[in-house]
Amino acid sequence: MERGALEGLRIADFSRVLAGPYATMLLADLGADVVKVERPGAGDETRQWRPPADAHGTSTYFLGVNRNKRSVALDLSDETGRERARALVAASDVLVENFRPGTMERLGLGYDDLKAGHPGLVYCSISGFGTGDGAAIPGYDLLVQAVGGLMSVTGEPGGEPTKAGVALVDVITGLHATLGILAALRHRDATGEGQRVEVNLLSSLLSAMVNQASAYAVAGVVPGRMGNAHPSIAPYETFSTADRPLALAVGNDAQFAALAGVLGRPDLADDPRFRTNPQRVAHRAPLRQVLDELLRTAGADHWSAALSAAGVPAGPVNTLDEAFAFAGRLGLPGIVTVPGAGGAPESRQVACPLTLTATPARHRLPPPALGEHTAEVFGEPGRPTP
């Protein structure tokens, strides 16, 4: 069996909900031993976030971000629990936490409390709004999408500001946390020195706003809602067809000429209003009117096939089941079944999207039951003991 790229690393995971657990699941997929620390009797909040649930009543939200981990139940309000937690950290390479800033310090588990006895520790803290003036603000994805500007550019013009259909900011922050952890481990391997890694939801979102944020930073442009249209590219949005919406992502003039040819209107590529991308952006409304009329003459699947064959990025707006089926037809990772250990039920999981030729990601363990591995972790020879 292939060795995971991060095999031999242990991560003490004190995080809950999404950003932290998503980061630690990716690290676990790559071979790290992730020990998830949970509150006895309750565990990660997402265990209760249902429906939907699997056949055994377990929240699908929790199942989606906690595979390849072992769970220990520790009461951190109790000194015995804190002693066990310190022992776990002492035998770990990385600690990940996303408590409200100051909580780990009050528990005696802050970075300054631990680094003297463990100078190589990589300590990753995830917060909503940093550890300064925003420390007291709860870090919920919806709130950050609102105050961070994402909702202001999402939705129809003149309509209600709209959140993304998934907790996108948490996922982006989890990816940033993973990157920071790996960079810190690289430094530690070279110098023996650990460090604290800090990421927050708001800064992660502002960075991920890319062209929209750059438009403001560079040119002072405050963007607004444009529905599915793009502020700098046209046509780059969804269009009606004879049956369902079609997404067109025409990124250059050659692709537009190909689009015009497939639609039977090659003259559009020579129209002075549409010859170049800046001209198409300036004349977005008449361009859309022409394209709508042409695209309504056939269905989305017809246009998707014809345009893709001509090198024009196009595709129907799929439902999630259709999206997984499309990935399957392309031979891309989709859904995998992770067998249960020791008679535990198997778990259907969304596959890790990373492909590594020498050290591939592996789906080794189903998401754990609360406290399932407490005895195992604290009874292993050479590992932390109470």
For the annotated catalytic residues, the residue numbers are 170
Rounded Cα distance between 278 and 289, Å, is 18
Strand 335-338 and strand 314-316: pairing? unpaired
Rounded Cα distance between 56 and 126, Å, is 31
Beta strands in 107-230, from DSSP E residues, in sequence order:
122-127, 195-200
Rounded Cα distance between 130 and 112, Å, is 17
DSSP label of 74: -
Q: Which residues contact 367 (CB under 8 A, 6 or more apart)?
A: 58, 62, 63, 66, 67, 69, 347
Q: Give the angle 258-264-268 at the CA atoms, nearest 5°.
A: 65
Strand 236-239 and strand 94-97: pairing? unpaired
- Write out the H or E segment, with its range, that includes residue 84: helix 79-90
Residue found under tokens 């002075």: 272
Q: Are 15 and 126 in contact (CB under 8 A)?
A: yes
CA distances to 34, 70, 177, 324 from 360, in Å: 17, 20, 21, 21
Both tokens assigned to 57: 């009543």
The 3-state secondary structure of 173-193, one letter per residue: HHHHHHHHHHHHHHHHHHHCC
Q: Are 275 and 220 in contact (CB under 8 A)?
A: no
Q: Are 32 and 11 in contact (CB under 8 A)?
A: yes
Residue found under tokens 């990157």: 179
